[in-house]
Amino acid sequence: MNILLTGGAGFIGTHTCVELVAAGHDVIVVDNYVNSQPEALRRVEELCGRKIPAYTFPYAGHHAADLCEHGGGDECRLRRLCRGQKKE
């Protein structure tokens, strides 16, 4: 299943990401890094042994969860909605 994980670079998000990937899901992370670092996702990628697509959400006053309404699990739409991949 494709899963959009908001706050995926945070404490709960990183652990959730590892478990979801281990369970066979494809995870796309959205995080504005207000309380985390892209480095956390690099560690997740090491643990998972694969790249994790990650995007920031640039619209002040909106929550990343708004992407669920506007972008869903469609990565192409997410690319248009978000600023781009932060950690590459």
Token digits of residue 17 = 């990401």
From candidates 36, 45, 73, 79, binder to ligand NAD by CB under 6 A: 36
From candidates 12, 22, 47, 68, binder to ligand NAD by CB under 6 A: 12
13 part of the interface to ligand NAD, by CB under 6 A: yes
57 part of the interface to ligand NAD, by CB under 6 A: yes
7 part of the interface to ligand NAD, by CB under 6 A: yes
Interface residue list for ligand NAD (CB under 6 A): 6-7, 9-13, 30-36, 57, 63-64
